[in-house]
Structure 1
Amino acid sequence: MNDDDESRSTSERLGVLATVGGVVAIVLVVVVANLLGRSGPAEEPAPQAAALPSAPVPLSTSAADLATMSPEEIATSALRERGEVAQALPSGAKSLANAAEALAGDQPFDFVLTTFNILGSQHTAPGGAASEFAPGRIRTEWAASLVNAYGSSVVGLQEIQRDQVEALDRSLGGTWDFWPGEALGGAGVPQSLMWSSAVWTPTFTGSITVPFVGKTRPQPVVRLQHIETGREIYVLNIHNSPRDAQGREPERDKAMAIEAEAVNELKKDGIPVFLVGDFNEHDEAFCYFTARAGMIAANGGSNSGGRCLVPRPNRVDWIFGTSDIDFSGFLLDEGPAVRRITDHAVLSTTVSVP
């Protein structure tokens, strides 16, 4: 080969390499631009998670206010400051292949959701109404083992007391976060939600206020971001007035109306909403929330055309979700391990977010 032929061959190879390099560069630019601006122009920064409010609106809602305000007013005022949903780039997208897959659409994921009335330690103290049970600290350690056995990563708790929150935190190795804990005062502790910090990060924490045994109680609302996929959900955990307290039916009715309006408000953000807890109602709770908030129950049933078919068996504890998710593997656990911890069933289910 002469010098001219060798020079042309070298130039051609360099040209091909330059072209390939240019295409790769363009692809990388497009991918990076999309990753940095999934919800807007490439030059705009990625959306930030909403700030966690230090003093949620509903704390100022008094019993007198609840009596005069409509459920919609109570729910919307409480949730007004929740900020925008932040579908950020998942931390798990560590490679170009994972990032490209994320750009193709939302990634599905599964998790286990549980509701657990843990039976407050005050009830099982000497002289308490359920003193035949073991002390609260011991029962809470057993509860931690159950949560791990279910594979749960989000748990709505009811009746839990300060000492039990501390015991549960210790038993779970400090790897779970709680809301509100003591952040909303003593009235907020018994309805605390918890989630595995290895699976979820909170992007909003707040509460709604409902009437409860002649007073008011904050019911926690949390928006959680799934760390692996970057997708978000809302969870509202509730405990309504007990049935054995005389004259409490109107309180439960008002509470359910507020909770349904809260779900409808949260649905506007276009992400799954879950409502869990101790409703102190059986059939009425199912028919109400499936009709008024368009929810589905983890244990089945249906409500259409004015015909409400309630799933059997059921208890006063429920797990509801919006219709954009699927439930499977529902467990209503009243086995020996549960019976030594609480006087309620423990409900657990797998949630699939498509």
Structure 2
Amino acid sequence: MKHKDPSPSAPGRPRPRPQVWAPVLVLVLVAAVVWASFFSGPGPVGPAADPASSQTADVPGAASSEPEAGEGGGRSDDEAGDEADDEAGDRADDGDQAEPGSADGASAEAALNRSVKRFRAAQRRLAKRVSDQLEARSQPVSFRVASFNVLGDSHTGPGGNKPASYPDAGPRMDMAISMLRGNGIDVVGFQEFESTQHNMFTARAGEYSLYPGLSLGTKSVRFNIAWRSSMFRLVEAHTLPIPYAGGSRIEMPVVLLESTTTGRRAWFANFHNPADTPKLGNNARWRSMAAGMEIAHLTSLHAEDGYPVIVTGDFNERAEIFCRFTAGGVFSSASGGSTGGACAPPPSMQVDWVFGSTGVAFDGYAVSDAGRASDHAMVHAGATLTEVP
């Protein structure tokens, strides 16, 4: 339907021309304002902002001042240098991509490049950490190791078989701890370490950790291994059922310890083979069986993973146990003597021993009189896990 003109012109009179100049002027003014908003200098508002800088915070993998997950607190100078180089490269990339009028695709490509660079830098840092750890695990580690029969509490308590000149277990444990500290002992194999003495030791010598503790009962507690917690951490532990007096089996400890500073690892084992006494009878058969089991197990452990093995114990034998341990050429004694088939024991021997496999070097062997702390001396030596070729 057509609309009628509400005020038609009079017949014969010309129609006036429409006035269009006013709307055109308005459009020109609006266009001028918009044009000025794009090119009015620093501090653009709204859509005139730099596309590259406005999207950086929203792009996955954008640079952050927070440390990467898993990095820990400290970084090496090399790692810091890598990150500085990466950040400089990022800034250069940002400069290339930050021209006015850059497309969104170009900004996304720049962000992807930054993410790839950060990933490669993280790979370099990880590779360096792994390399440093492997190098540390090949370096020598030195410490002091001891074997110490501390004379069980039952021997000096009521009904015990030791003379009254031996103090009770409490004062004797204080003396034993003093000997460990005074000689800088880092690892010690205890024998006759009864549950009361275990409790005294853990309460008074908190710098040491123990295995098996009391976890295997009052029989196995007598053969604990203790190590200085600041020097070693426990990686793995198991026991070996060793025939004791009369052939009864008692679980004795074997532990894999790792250096807290280098990551070097070594096996430590501690044994007490049965003695011949009027009360226990002749136990030569069981000692021989025990020695065979101990040597076979530890030789196998050493061959299996290559970690050095250190053995402490009261073996109740002198030349016999020395010759058996050293015959295969794998173990040597901290006290000296030969290694291999032609057995030449050291000139002075105790029934208490420290042996080490290949990969262990001993020095400074000593026999320290325990006085009234025990009826056994403490034997100890410096041990070095030699450099891995």
Compute the TM-score of the two structures, normalised by the length of structure 1. Answer: 0.72
Flag as ranges the 4+ runs of structure 1 deviating above 2 A.
Answer: 17-31, 100-105, 243-247
Aligned counterparts, 1:247-326, within 5 A: 247-267=282-302, 268-292=304-328, 294-304=330-340, 306-326=341-361
Counterpart of 2:228?
196
Q: 1 or 2 for the larger relative contact order (CA 8 Å, sep ≥6)?
A: 1
Matched residue SS, 2:230: coil
Q: Give 1:293 deviation, angstroms.
A: 6.6
In the TM superposition, what is the alpha-carbon distance from 1:126 to its structure 2 partner? Answer: 3.1
Partner residue in 1 for 2:250: 217
1:261-309 deviation per Cα after TM superposition (whole angstroms, max 9, x unaligned): 11112102111101111000000111000114720100110033x3211
Partner of 1:127: 159
Aligned residues: 273
Structure 1: where are the runs of 5+ without partners? 1-13, 39-99
Q: Residues 124 and 341 from structure 1, CA distance in 2 versus in 1: closer, same or farther, beyond 3 angstroms?
A: same
* 2:14 counterpart residue number: none
Paired residue for 1:237?
Answer: 270
Shift in CA distance, 210/104, structure 1 to aligned 2, threshold 3 Å: closer
Which letter does structure 2 place at the counterpart of 1:109? V
Once the two structures are superposed, the pairs formed by residues 133-144 of structure 1 within 5 Å of their partners are: 133-144=166-177
Matched, 1:170 2:203: yes
Note if 1:327 corresponds to 2:367.
no
Moved more, 144-153 or 125-134: 125-134
Deviation at 1:141, TM superposition (A): 1.0
Map of 1:10 onto structure 2? none
Partner of 1:56: none
Structure-2 residue corresponding to 1:69: none
Q: Distance in 2 between matches of 1:145 and 1:294?
A: 34
How many percent of aligned residue pairs carry the same amino acid?
Answer: 30
Structure 2 matches for 1:47-196, cutoff 5 A? 101-104=132-135, 106-131=138-163, 132-172=165-205, 174-196=206-228
1:32 aligns with 2:64: no
Q: CA deviation at 1:350?
A: 0.8
Distance in 2 (alpha carbons) for counterparts of 1:28 and 1:350: 41
1:225, 1:231 within 8 Å by CA — same for their partners in 2?
yes
Cα pair distance change 1:309/1:181, threshold 3 Å: same
Larger radius of gyration: 2
Contact preservation (8 Å) 1:232, 1:271: yes
Contact 2:325 2:331 survives alignment (8 Å): yes
CA distance in structure 2 between the aligned counterparts of 1:319 and 1:23, rounded to whole angstroms: 54
How far apart in 1 are the matches of 2:367 and 2:260? 28
Larger strand percent = 1
For residue 375 of structure 2, give the secondary structure of its aligned residue in structure 1. coil
Amino acid paired to 1:247: N
Counterpart of 2:32?
none
Give the drift of 1:324: 1.0
- 1:83 aligns with none
SS at match of 2:339: strand
| Separation of aligned partners in 2, 1:126 and 1:312 | 39
Q: What letter is aligned with 2:296?
A: E
